[in-house]
Amino acid sequence: MSTSPRTAFGLGVATQTNSGQILECYFHNLGLGSAPSNNADDDLSLLLGEDSIRKVKKIAVKTQINLDEKPKDVSDVYLRLHLLSHRIVKPNSVNLDGIFGILPNVVWTSAGACAVDGFEKVRHELQNKYGNMIVYGVDKFPRMVDYVIPEGVRIADGDRVRLGAYLSVGTTVMHEGFINFNAGTLGKPMVEGRISAGVVVGDGSDIGGGASAVANFAHHTSIVTGGARGGATASSTAYNGDGIDASYIIPGLIIEGGSPGSKALPGTYSLNPLFFTGGAGGAGSLTNPAWEGGDGANGSGGGDAGELWRKEWLLNHEGYAGLS
């Protein structure tokens, strides 16, 4: 039984260098399926033209893509990133294979996108023209806020959210929070830490300052969902796995995926500092951790020392005495 391909369209403007390289694309009209036949509302003529200082020109682009196939060119990639940030598609639902090899490095400035080659001369000419010119960065991905501002979100620092991030209504990204492309939120979280590509944070979860939610690159996806104590991930915590549910993770904990031990169950509390990989040695699950020091966290011993350390830690942190 054949299924219809998932397609999307985009109508917009691209920045093209004099050598023909597309630096970026801004889609003004986009959606799933095929482009409408009547594009009377898509007169982009006022946005087109040439910039002799930046040595680029603005050209109209009309893109039709298959979301399940690999991206083919820069405009294809940008359409997928726009679809994510406009909440038309969700993270991990479209093919993004090979995008780093497709996207060029770009100098992102207050005057617009510039090619890296020859930029120092361009910089001086732009400064002479505008008096003040800001370089935001040199990267393959632009800031989301320069292309899309989703309704109902707070973003304290636009540099911290890449185009292609998916921010649900009610999301707050504080100054040190970061959300990568193909990552984001499905609830109303407070994001003070890092949400890496492929990670989705569900409703009821917060990412605390200094915390990182990192996808398992073997599976390209992680899900952090809410539960006990709001499912908060606290400061200085690294999470690298396939999914963690209903847990309060205290600072200093590192959870590595790829084993049964990487899944925390509802009501779990994991205390600081513990490195847990759930390796072949059988260190125990997060509902009954080994509490081992040194290599014991990998299931290779040290259980007695770890148990003594655990009791001492609990005595010094009376707020967690009930977990003993």
Residue 322 — very low, low, confident or very high, per pLDDT cuts 50/70/90?
very low
Last residue of a domain, one of 50, 83, 101: 101
Q: 312 falls in which pLDDT band (50, 70, 90)?
A: low
Q: Give me the torsion for CA of 260, 263, 265, 266, rounded to 10°.
A: -170
The backbone region for 125, taken as left when phi is positive above 0, alpha when psi lies in -120 to 50, beta otherwise, is alpha
Sign of CA dihedral 21, 25, 30, 32: positive
Cα–Cα separations (whole angstroms), residue 71 to 68, 170, 215, 324: 9, 31, 21, 52
Residues 188 and 317 both lie in one domain: yes
pLDDT (average), residues 243-270: 45
Assess whether 192 and 284 both reside in one domain: yes
Look at 118 and 266; give whichever has higher pLDDT: 118
**Residue 286 domain-assigned (yes or no):** yes
Is 315 inside a domain boundary?
yes
For residues 77 and 150, membership in a common domain is answered with no
Q: Which residues are the active-site residues?
A: 192
CATH for 308: 2.160.10
Supply the pLDDT for residue 303.
Answer: 46
User: Cβ distance 103 to 138 under 8 Å?
Assistant: no
Last residue of a domain, one of 101, 123, 154: 101
Kindly tell me if the per-residue pLDDT of 92 is higher than 60: yes
Quick: pLDDT tens for 39-69. Answer: 655 678 888 999 999 999 999 999 999 999 9
CATH code of the domain containing 93: 3.30.70.2010
Tell me, yes or no, whether 23 lies in a domain. Answer: yes
CA 56 to chain centre: 29
Q: What is the β-pairing status of strands 106-109 and 135-139?
A: antiparallel
Q: What is the pLDDT of residue 202?
A: 82
Query: What are residue 225's DSSP bridge partners?
Result: 245
If one counts every other C-beta atom within 10 angstroms of the C-beta of residue 269, the result is 17
Indicate whether 75 and 149 sit together in one domain.
no
Q: What is the pLDDT of residue 203?
A: 80
pLDDT of the residue at 253: 52
The structure's pTM equals 0.74
Residue 123 lies inside a defined structural domain of this protein: no
Average pLDDT over residues 184-201: 89
Are 148 and 97 part of one and the same domain?
no
- Claim to verify: residue 152 and residue 92 sit in the same structural domain: no
Among 134-138, 188-192, 301-305, name the one with the lowest average pLDDT.
301-305
For residues 302-315, average pLDDT = 49
Where a domain ends, among 69, 101, 133? 101
pLDDT range class, residue 283, cuts 50, 70, 90: very low
Give the residue, 304 or 277, on which the prediction is more confident. Answer: 304
Tell me the C-alpha distance between 52 and 22, whole Å: 16
Q: Would the pLDDT of 174 be above 60?
A: yes
Report the C-alpha dihedral over residues 289, 272, 251, 287, rounded to 10 degrees: 20
> Please, what is the average pLDDT of the chain?
76
pLDDT of residue 151: 96
Contact of 183 with 196, CB cutoff 8 Å: yes
Q: Is the same domain home to 36 and 91?
A: yes
Q: How far apart are CA 74 and CA 96, in angstroms?
A: 12
Q: Are residues 307 and 176 in the same domain?
A: yes
- Helix, strand, or coil here: 288? coil
What is the spatial distance between Cα 213 and Cα 200, in angstroms, rounded to a whole number? 9
Q: What is the pLDDT of residues 291-307, one digit of tens each?
A: 333 333 333 444 444 45
> Is 60 exceeded by the pLDDT of residue 81?
yes
Band the pLDDT of 74: cuts 50, 70, 90. Answer: very high
In a domain, 318, yes or no: yes
Give the domain extent around 79: 7-101
Which letter does DSSP use for residue 94 in this model? S
- 60 and 189 both lie in a single domain: no
Cβ partners under 8 Å of residue 146, min gap 6 = 108, 158, 163
Classify residue 130: in a domain, yes or no.
no
Q: In the chain, how many domains are there?
A: 2
Whether residue 207 is contained in a domain is answered as: yes
Asked if 68 and 215 sit in the same domain, the reply is no
Residue 199: which pLDDT band, with cuts at 50, 70 and 90?
Answer: confident
> Among the residues of 184-302, which ranges form H helices?
none
AA identity, residue 116: V
Q: Where are the alpha helices (DSSP H) in the chain?
A: 74-85, 99-102, 119-130, 303-316
Interatomic CA distance for residues 59 and 25, integer angstroms: 9
Q: What is the pLDDT of residue 214?
A: 73
One domain, residues 304 and 199: yes
Give the mean model confidence (pLDDT) for residues 78-96.
97
Where does the pLDDT of residue 266 fall: very low under 50, low under 70, confident under 90, or very high at 90 and above? very low
Residues 224, 303, single domain; the answer is yes
Interatomic CA distance for residues 266 and 244, integer angstroms: 9
Q: Does residue 13 sit within a domain?
A: yes
Q: Is the dihedral of CA 33, 99, 26, 149 positive or negative?
A: positive
